[in-house]
Chains A and B, each alone.
Chain A
Amino acid sequence: MTPPTSKATDADKRTARIRKALAKAPVKGAYLASDDKVEIRVCAGTACHASGRVALRKALDKALAERGLTDKVAVVETGCHGFCEEGPIVVVRPQGLFYPRLKPRDIAEIVETSVVGDGVVERLLYRDPQTDEPLAHEGDIPFYQGQRRIVLALNGKIDPYSIDDYFNHGGYSALAEVLCADDPEAVIAEVEASGLRGRGGAGFPTGRKWRYCRENPGEKHYVICNADEGDPGAFMDRSVLEGDPHAVIEGMTIAAFAIGAGNGPVEGYVYVRHEYPFAVERLRHALGQARERGLLGDDILGSGFSFDIRINQGAGAFVCGESTALTASIEGHRGMPRGKHIRTVAQGLWGQPTNLNNVETYVNVPWIVLNGAEAFAAMGTPTSKGTKIFSLTGKIVNGGLVEVPMGATLREVIFDIGGGMLPGRTFKAVQLGGPSGGCLPAALLDEPIDFESLVAAGSMMGSGGMVVVDDTTCMVDFAKFFLKFTSEESCGKCVPCRVGSQRLLEILERISAGEGTLDDIERMERLSEDIIEGSLCALGGTAPNPVLSTIRYFRDEIEAHIVEHRCPAGVCRPLIRYEIDEEACTGCHVCFGACPTQAISGERKQLHAIDQKLCIKCDTCRQVCRFDAVRVAPAVPVAAEGRPQ
């Protein structure tokens, strides 16, 4: 037996070795992004890319070269700033000037005024939607003020291609700390104490999952990151992978250490959607860098612990976000779930104990290690701790990624941070949790957001999609959209989900065509109950939620379709017709040219008319009309004839 003194020195030596390895990992002389340097940050997230950041970058390089500043002013392409509605975004440092919605022609002026000079181009600044006052800094903007950014902390601050930037912001120090302490049980205990729950939707306590996985014997343990962000309308995982990929790697490595150290080999997988090419590319690059610097692979930082991560791409199947379907997909099978009588923590990938967490969950882990479980548990509600990212989209002024502490109310998120509804529109509902969640009405806006309260209200946290709709969205049509989605995405393995969701969809289609009966509502409720009870996995088990929540909160709207044959929002096609407002029409002839079926007749400067027989209700004329002269009217005048047959 080794005497205790020598054991202590062994541990000390190991600690010194790990610290030295971490200190040596950054490359000297690499450019480091910093708030105090003169640099221009261009957002290179998917949304900003789509709104033209490539052309912007070209114009920027040209403008800098013309002034001979190419070597003096650094241009950093960062991850997503979160304020996607306002893209493409450029931030000029050190002043921290925030320029949204830029066009390439604006660049020269910005370089001249804010980089060469010290001024501000006021006409290009973000304007407060309420007061129209220009706001120069990110911190002044209401969208950022109500947020608490832990997971998104480095998004938009660092270059995702630079591991040195990540080191410079304290990156991998949590991993080094964990490796130095060499106590996997303590890591699990810490995560358990923090109260961190899975951010993928179900909210299972993360620490407990790790413990089960560690306790289950196997030849090998697997740590999988679920980045198959299938919920339409949610994009926080994409944004984190694009903006801060090393944080995911660090979180996964800590998890792998907690589960596998002294317990046999561990291997990691990231299962990421094929629809996110940038995320895959940046993650692949980050993995290469981490391997190069000794943070992945054999003997990480000289600690003796080995772990590596592989990328596995999905192929457009929503059900592959489910844990057993995901592992089947990695194994090269159809992505079909199996019964969960044996959990994945006992038998997952290749029949071995497997730990599966969401991207956001992993990114929380380094923060917890560095700041302690108590600091994490101090945020949030008694049952849900920490922060949660929501992707706020739909009919709202400020769309984008919002990270708030758990327990914030829907009103705070939608109206204070999101800036409320578009001008002239009223709030109707907010849809949370994607196709598995439900729509909540205005009456529940003051509800605090946590796992339990949302489930009680008939919705769920899901991965954090938050789609706001106004009075122009028909709730029957909205529920139909989700049902169409789940019935198409049902893998077809179990009958309740495959056939049940199809039948539910058919009932909804009947209602939206004005052919439903009042019995249909009860029929849907009963069928939903059976689908929830009988389905094999969570996709089927939650598929009826959008319908149930619509019945619960928007019954009157469904009844309007059935009884009055009227779509209050003017969306369901069989129940509407397009008309031209005789007083507003100026005869500008724009709709005449835009109509794909030549259903509009009329001479220039004269009143136009729509031929109802030719009209296919494609909405083009209403969208092109600048005088609001095209309006949607009920297909059958209800008041005159009472209830039409």
Chain B
Amino acid sequence: MAKKSGGNGNGRGTLTGSHMYEVLQGIDFEKRELVGKRKGVGLFDLVKEKDGRLRCYACTLCERSCPVDCIEIEHCPEFETLPFDVDAERAAALAEQPEIEMARFDPVVARIREGSGLVEAFHATQEAFGWLPRATLEAIADEMKLPFSRVFGVASFYSQFRLEPVGKYVIDVCMGTACHVAGAPLVVEAFAQELDVPVGGTTPDGLFTLQTVNCVGACALAPVVRIGDDDTHGRVGPNEARKLVRKLRKAEVAS
């Protein structure tokens, strides 16, 4: 048994932990008033680097995350220039990605102008390219007049959006409860081994991307594997998984 420690005798462990139960000054969210004794709570400020530059680049995440909505981000005329060279960083990030055909992006622009939301715009982009290239995210930010950080923040939040190019065959292994009980983890492993990529990875030849999905709703056929949008396979075991990959590879070599 762990020895009971902590000076105030509440028996809940360490000294640091005991501070959790001390009432400091704060806000009672329900009553919306200040409570507790005045101790140790100050105002928030932005962190500055040694040379005086602000570390914050207004990604708006704190504004979004605050449980009591007490943070507001607004235009600040004191800082005319950004704290780092944005153009150079953008160019570097863009150079890392393969070139894309921006003409395929036009329908997305049209839909944004019709009033589609941000998440819908991502879906449309992903439909056109199979993933979300950085160039398109920048174009969406420009088109919707949003900061790029916000656009990127939303895109990276949702697991269905892919920020890297995908293979020709996207293999989705369902990891729902029914599939788990029926042995889906073994199936994922078999795929990962056969393709020699981790979950989320793409094979070097650009043929396969291995992903997991939380539930495709075909639980009676567990474990379920979906290849592309429409090719669904039910009752797949590790052995079938390996065979599936070999079959697709063979078809690819033949064509």
Contact = CB atoms under 8 A, between A and B. Distances in A.
Contacts of A618: 186, 189-190, 193, 238
Interface in A388-427: 391, 393-395, 399-400
Please give me the 10 A-B residue pairs with the lowest Cβ-Cβ distance, nearest first.
Answer: A332-B118, A232-B176, A84-B220, A315-B158, A316-B160, A235-B217, A233-B177, A50-B232, A393-B178, A393-B219
Contacts of A339: 29, 67-68
Contacts of B215: 229-235, 275
Contacts of A316: 158-160, 213-214
Contacts of A235: 215, 217-219
Contacts of B161: 315
Contacts, number: 179
Contacts of A233: 176-178, 215, 219
A394 B176 CA distance: 11
B235 to A, nearest CB: 9
A481 B217 CA distance: 18
B47 interface: no
A332 B119 contact: yes
Given A275-B213, A334-B154, A620 B237 contact: yes
Interface string A156-175: 00000000000000000000
A401 to B, nearest CB: 9
B214 A318 contact: yes
A222 B131 CA distance: 32
A481 B190 CA distance: 18
B122 interface: yes
Given A489-B214, A493-B67, A596-B194, 9 more contacts: A85-B220, A232-B180, A331-B117, A333-B154, A393-B220, A394-B177, A395-B181, A399-B178, A434-B177
B124 to A, nearest CB: 10
Interface string A199-239: 00000000000000000000000000000011111110011
Interface stretch (B37-45, B91-99, B221-229): B221-229
Nearest to A597: B193
A482 B216 CA distance: 17
A620 B181 contact: no
B158 A232 contact: no
Contacts of A313: 119-120, 123
Interface in A288-344: 312-318, 328-336, 338-339, 341
B69 interface: yes
A46 B117 contact: no
A312 B237 CA distance: 35
A624 interface: yes
Contact of B216 (A46, A335, A467, A623): A46
A431 B219 CA distance: 14
Interface in B105-164: 117-120, 122-123, 153-154, 157-161
B216 A431 contact: no
Nearest to A400: B220
B158 A336 contact: no
Given A230-B214, A596-B193, A618-B189, A393 B232 contact: no
B10 to A, nearest CB: 12
Interface string A266-278: 0000000011110
Interface residues of B, number: 57
Contacts of B232: 46, 49-50
A361 interface: no
B123 A315 contact: yes
B210 interface: no
B65 interface: yes
B229 A277 contact: yes
A47 interface: yes
A381 interface: no
A51 interface: yes
Contacts of B122: 315
Contacts of A147: none
A333 B220 contact: no
B173 interface: no
B1 A519 contact: yes
Contacts of A485: 175, 214
A561 B215 CA distance: 29
B118 A232 contact: no
A46 B217 contact: yes
Contacts of B242: 596
B177 A481 contact: yes
B2 interface: yes
B160 A391 contact: no
B234 interface: yes
A619 B123 contact: no
Contacts of B123: 274, 313, 315
A329 B238 contact: no
A620 B65 contact: no
Interface string A516-538: 00010000000000000000100
Contacts of A478: 180-181
Contacts of B120: 312-313
A331 B144 CA distance: 13
A478 B183 CA distance: 11
Nearest to B229: A277
Contacts of B30: 341
A114 interface: no
B181 to A, nearest CB: 5
B216 A51 contact: no
Nearest to A473: B181
B32 to A, nearest CB: 8
Given A233-B176, A315-B160, A623-B239, A87 B220 contact: yes
Interface string A471-501: 0010000100110010001010110000000
A167 B191 CA distance: 48
Contact of A274 (B160, B194, B219): B160
Nearest to B233: A50
Contact of A51 (B158, B159, B183, B234): B234
A336 B65 contact: yes
A221 to B, nearest CB: 19
11 contacts: A84-B219, A233-B178, A275-B213, A275-B214, A275-B215, A332-B118, A341-B68, A393-B220, A399-B178, A491-B157, A619-B238
B214 A469 contact: no
A47 B29 contact: no
A232 B177 contact: yes
Interface in A439-478: 465, 467, 469, 473, 478
Contacts of B4: none
A482 B175 CA distance: 11
Contacts of A469: 181
Q: Of residues B177, B224, B232, which shows the largest number of chain A Cβ atoms within 10 Å of its Cβ?
A: B177
B247 interface: no
Contacts of B219: 47, 84, 233, 235, 391, 393, 399
Interface string B65-96: 10111000000000000000000000000000
B91 to A, nearest CB: 27
A65 to B, nearest CB: 25
Contact of A50 (B154, B157, B224): B224
Contacts of A333: 64, 118, 154
B178 A394 contact: yes
A335 B154 CA distance: 8
B78 to A, nearest CB: 27
Nearest to B193: A596
Nearest to A469: B181
Contacts of A312: 117, 119-120
Contact of B239 (A315, A341, A624): A624
Contact of A332 (B29, B68, B154, B181): B154
Contacts of A238: 217
